[in-house]
Amino acid sequence: MPDSSLWQRLKDRKIVQWGLAYLAGAWVFVESASLVAQQFHWPEVVGPVVTILAMFGFFVVLVIAWYHGEKGQQWVSGPELLIIALLLLISGGVLSMLGGRGSSKDSAIEPAPAPAGGLNDERPVVAVLPFRSLSSDPEHAYFADGQQDEIISKLSKISGLKVISGTSVEQYREARPPIPQIAAELGGVDFVLEGSARMAGDQVRLIAQLIDAGKEGHLWSEEFTRTLTTENLFAVQTEIAEQIARSMRVVIRPEEKTRIEASLTDDLEAYDLYLLGRHRWRTRSVETIREAIGYFEAAIERDSLFALAYGGMADALMVLPLYDLNVETLDVYESAKAAALRALELNSALGEIHSSLGYLAQTYEWAWSAAERHLLRAIELSPNYAAAHQWYSTVLEWLGRNDEALEQMEIAFSLDPMSNVMAWGMAGRLYNAGRGIEARTYSEKVRQAEPSIPWALADYAADLLKQEPVDSTMAREVYAEFFSFFGYPDPTRAADALVAVGEYADSMETYLALMDDVADQTALDRTDLIFYFLPPVPADVFFDVLEEAVDHRHMFVPSVPEVVGRYHPDLMNHPRWDEFIQRIQYPGSLK
């Protein structure tokens, strides 16, 4: 008598075989559909729909296998039809509910086009506004800033997005104009992320909401409450960044996803100190840069494997001579380089580290090929890191590749449109391109900003004297502001003498005496004055100062070939010029 048990009947109908075969095929189908959806930027709801269809399909296959498994059963029976109909009705209801939820969110924006290179791309642009601190302790404000910085950093690694720098959104910390106004002021932003952060004991709460700048509609908002650990913080930051990309239909490449999800440190206190360092670093004064160095040192003491802390240390040390003229390059260069190399050893996939190494190579080592290699790698790893584009632009300018330099500077400025440093760079590149009138609009922007950049004032005044139309009156005003910045007691007299030396040859003796007086009474030295103002000083004076600057690895040395070639090409025929070019290993040809 044949075995009529349930197990035997299942075996006869090959239910298990059919089920396993279907699961294998469904897995392949779902994975393939996911890949195609990413490539063609299909709506986000497609993935869940395909998955649920596959799930209900499994039960349909089991029903069909049961009724058709026995030989001779060829037609669909009434019970079979009823079961399949019920399954399809349930499936349709679930899909309808899911589709309704997805459509209200997803219909707000259109799929973003694939990223394009250069300036004229159509990538979606996102700005992450300063996070509001909801902590009861005002000393915890840096924590909210840190979450904003880290989310910007993660987004900056996604090549399909264009991300506005934190420097440019800083002005919206207190006053928040309407979102469309913010979007317009930042050069055409498509989406704005607002958020807040709160620390309370061992708990942290982050709230984020993404807004369509054109429609002022909320695309999504979410609250994250977690136990305060570095693992949880990094996971939330990553989730927010990935959610932003998904909302804009942007594909995150596998290598980008790996970099975004990378763990930075397991030590919460080290991470806390690092955030404090970056918070001080952003204000860029002598005092805050030195405070930042202290915090980075403390973070490294806590976690000697924390690559970003070494990177922060390198950044702070290498720009310190720009802000503190009492610091010589050689006082900090070796320490900055050691910190950057240690960071690279710990994590070679950080674009910020390659950018720092590129800056060191171009400014202090005159290793031009290494500088270009590191900066191109930085742009590859963090395509939205404005400083990398800016510093690469400087390398290109110093090598006489002015068209490329202007293009890179325009990219940097588009990523950080409110930055005084970027406006200063734009002015310089436009002057080189012979577009002096446009350049002066950027120079005036920097001049009116607070805090001012003294070297930008010096550039502005020099170009007012050297570029058509010459404006001696304005040059005097700007030069006076420059000398006032450094505390010279008679800035107007210094400005008058500086302008006069370019107009009257017999004023050279007066100028040289003034130069020594300024060097005695301020932090400025002869190198600063000659390189930045470049009056027609005697050649022996120029080359004596230049030789001293090379010995001390002065930060202005790499700019000399390009500036001299533009304003004083006669100096390039001097016997000492070729010696200088060889010492700095200059690969360009300006003669």
Please give the residue that has the higher pLDDT: either 290 or 29.
290
The predicted model gives 538-567 an average pLDDT of: 85
3-state secondary structure of 368: helix
Inform me whether the pLDDT recorded for 103 exceeds 90.
no
Distance CA 326, CA 318 (A): 14
Inform me whether the pLDDT recorded for 105 exceeds 50.
no
Cis-peptide into 575, omega within 30 deg: no
Structure tokens at 587: 């690969």
| pLDDT in the model for residue 99 | 42
Q: How confident is the model at residue 162 (pLDDT cuts 50, 70, 90)?
A: very high
Please give the residue that has the higher pLDDT: either 110 or 175.
175
DSSP state of 365: I
Nearest CA to 457 among 423, 501, 418?
423
Q: How confident is the model at residue 515 (pLDDT cuts 50, 70, 90)?
A: confident
Structure tokens at 284: 């860029």
Q: Which helix (H) or strand (E) holds 145?
A: helix 141-155
Inform me whether the pLDDT recorded for 273 exceeds 60.
yes
Contact 572, 590 (CB under 8 A): yes
Inform me whether the pLDDT recorded for 96 exceeds 50.
no
Q: Among the listed ranges 205-214, 293-302, 565-574, which one has the minimum average pLDDT value?
A: 565-574
Distance CA 58, CA 416 (A): 52
Inform me whether the pLDDT recorded for 460 exceeds 50.
yes
| pLDDT in the model for residue 106 | 35
Global pTM? Answer: 0.75
Distance CA 242, CA 112 (A): 15
Nearest CA to 369 among 377, 360, 361?
361
Residue ranges of the alpha helices (H) in 454-507? 454-466, 472-485, 491-501
The dihedral built from the CA positions of residue 401, 350, 255 and 248, taken in this order, carries a sign that is: negative
| pLDDT in the model for residue 142 | 76
Model confidence pLDDT, tens digit, residues 333-352: 999 999 999 999 999 999 98
Cα–Cα distances (Å) from 303 to 248, 297, 345, in that order, read: 36, 10, 15
The predicted model gives 306-327 an average pLDDT of: 90
Q: Domain-by-domain residue ranges, the chain?
A: 6-106, 125-262
Per-position DSSP letters for 407-463, written without gaps between them:
HHHHHHHHHSTT-HHHHHHHHHHHHHTT-HHHHHHHHHHHHHSSS--HHHHHHHHHH
Inform me whether the pLDDT recorded for 235 exceeds 50.
yes
Cα–Cα distances (Å) from 87 to 93, 121, 311, in that order, read: 10, 47, 58
Using CA atoms in the order 344, 347, 350, 356, what is the torsion angle rounded to 10 degrees?
Answer: -20
Model confidence pLDDT, tens digit, residues 55-95: 767 677 667 766 666 544 544 454 554 565 566 556 555 54
Contact 427, 459 (CB under 8 A): yes
Structure tokens at 145: 């800033």
**Tell me, what amino acid is at 395?**
V
Q: What are phi and psi of 430, to 5 degrees?
A: -70, -35
What 91-99 contacts at long range (C-beta under 8 Å, 24+ apart), as own/partner pairs, is 91/52, 91/53, 91/56, 94/52, 95/49, 95/52, 95/53, 98/45, 98/48, 98/49, 98/52, 99/45, 99/49
Distance CA 188, CA 414 (A): 10
**Tell me, what amino acid is at 318?**
M
Tokens 């300006």 belong to residue = 590
Please give the residue that has the higher pLDDT: either 429 or 140.
429
Q: CA neighbours within 13 Å on the CB side: how many for 552?
A: 18
Angle at 478 between CA 477 and CA 484, to 5 degrees: 90
What 496-501 contacts at long range (C-beta under 8 Å, 24+ apart), as own/partner pairs, is 498/461, 498/533, 498/535, 499/465, 499/472, 499/475, 501/535, 501/536
Inform me whether the pLDDT recorded for 215 exceeds 70.
yes
**Tell me, what amino acid is at 257?**
K
Q: What are phi and psi of 389, to 5 degrees?
A: -65, -40
The predicted model gives 177-199 an average pLDDT of: 92
| pLDDT in the model for residue 552 | 87
Contact 294, 309 (CB under 8 A): no
Chain mean pLDDT for the chain: 81
Nearest CA to 426 among 447, 451, 409, 407?
409
DSSP bridge pairs for 132: 196
Q: How confident is the model at residue 496 (pLDDT cuts 50, 70, 90)?
A: confident
Contact 351, 388 (CB under 8 A): yes
Q: How confident is the model at residue 261 (pLDDT cuts 50, 70, 90)?
A: confident
Strands 191-200 and 132-133: parallel
Structure tokens at 191: 């989406």
Per-position DSSP letters for 178-195, written without gaps between them:
-HHHHHHHTTS-SEEEEE
Q: What is the separation of C-alpha 406 from the centre of its chain, rounded to a whole number of angstroms?
A: 19
Q: Among the listed ranges 158-167, 324-333, 423-432, 483-492, which one has the minimum average pLDDT value?
A: 324-333
Distance CA 337, CA 344 (A): 10
Superfamily of domain 125-262: ABC-type transport auxiliary lipoprotein component (3.40.50.10610)
| pLDDT in the model for residue 95 | 44
**Longest Cα separation, the chain:** 127
Nearest CA to 188 among 127, 252, 263?
127
Radius of gyration for the chain, computed over Cα atoms and rounded to the nearest angstrom: 31
SS3 content of the chain, % helix, strand, coil (to 5): 65, 5, 25
DSSP state of 133: E
Inform me whether the pLDDT recorded for 4 exceeds 60.
no
Cα–Cα distances (Å) from 94 to 23, 42, 47, 97, 295, in that order, read: 21, 20, 14, 5, 53
The dihedral built from the CA positions of residue 53, 56, 58 and 63, taken in this order, carries a sign that is: negative
Structure tokens at 402: 């002015």
| pLDDT in the model for residue 209 | 92
Angle at 383 between CA 378 and CA 389, to 5 degrees: 65
